[in-house]
Amino acid sequence: MKKYYLAERLKNRHTSTEKLMLLMPCITVYLSAWLTAEYFTIDVYNWWYTVLFPGMISSVCGAVGNRDKKMGNRAVWTLPADMGAVWDGKVLYGIRCMGASLIVLFGAILLVSTVFEQVVKMVFRINPTGLEQLLAIVVLFLTSLWQIPFCLLLHQMIGLFPMVLLHVGSIFLISVTMSLKPYFMLLPGGIAERMMCIILKILPNGLPAEPGSITFTPELLEWKGVPIGILVSLVWFAVFWFVSRKWFERRVGK
């Protein structure tokens, strides 16, 4: 599996894929610092996981899958290789890009918030601690893994542009309307947003998770939801990886 991951990394070296995982989090941080400075920290996270993060993941998966798909996957199926392992390499490379983008986001947020506090002497209305933000990054990573095989499969089936629209649109709709429902575990697109209510005290609509905010209820802050949400997300990840791997094996390995 390692050699297929390294092959994907080599194919995507110095391409838009590598640039996206650096530019997207930096653009998110810049926009939040410029437009909503007093709510900088919570807004950058809220904008990131509701819209920009799914958009980056779908764009990365589209770029990774498109290099072989635009040639009808002929460059892959003519090789004496295990098609399942080829798919695993794509998934692992997508995970690597996703993890790198979250690390860049975390570092940029800490840097800008430190400058605001120490140099500009700004007081944020809501400012999660560094440990809370680190936990949020780790949970975002674990609860978003399912998006990689899902977007790669969707791209193979319907193409880049429809995949991006469907994925980003569904994540946004689910996060705003359904992530606060009791059945949110059945919708993987709403789990990360629900976890951020607990960790960062941010509702999907961007308001503080506190009494008086629209859609707030005390149950949203129960910490027991974090391990459950992570576990369910990992199950969804395993399901999407297995299904997409088998589909790719049948479609390309025939």
Asked if pLDDT for residue 20 goes beyond 60, the answer is yes
For residues 218 and 170, is the Cβ–Cβ distance under 8 A?
no
d(CA 116, CA 61): 35
Any residues with CB less than 8 A from the CB of 194 and at least 6 apart, and which?
Answer: 179, 180, 184, 220, 225, 229
Any residues with CB less than 8 A from the CB of 96 and at least 6 apart, and which?
Answer: 5, 9
| Mean predicted confidence (pLDDT) in 166-178 | 86
Asked if pLDDT for residue 96 goes beyond 80, the answer is yes
| pLDDT tier, 174 (very low <50, low <70, confident <90, very high otherwise) | confident
For residues 104 and 21, is the Cβ–Cβ distance under 8 A?
yes
| Mean predicted confidence (pLDDT) in 202-217 | 85
Positive or negative torsion for Cα 156, 158, 162, 168 = negative
Asked if pLDDT for residue 5 goes beyond 80, the answer is no
Task: Give the Cα-Cα-Cα angle 84, 254, 66 (nearest 5 degrees).
Answer: 60
Give tens-digit pLDDT for 112-161: 999 998 888 787 878 889 999 999 999 999 999 999 999 999 998 998 89
pLDDT reported for residue 180:
82
pLDDT reported for residue 44:
94
pLDDT reported for residue 187:
86
pLDDT reported for residue 1:
65
Report residue 72 as tokens: 């009808």
Asked if pLDDT for residue 228 goes beyond 80, the answer is yes
Of how many residues is the chain composed?
254
Give me the chain's average pLDDT, please. Answer: 86
Enumerate the domain spans of the chain. 2-252
pLDDT reported for residue 84:
80
pLDDT reported for residue 72:
52
| Mean predicted confidence (pLDDT) in 207-224 | 85
pLDDT reported for residue 12:
73
Give tens-digit pLDDT for 28-84: 999 999 988 888 999 999 999 999 999 999 999 988 877 666 555 555 555 556 778
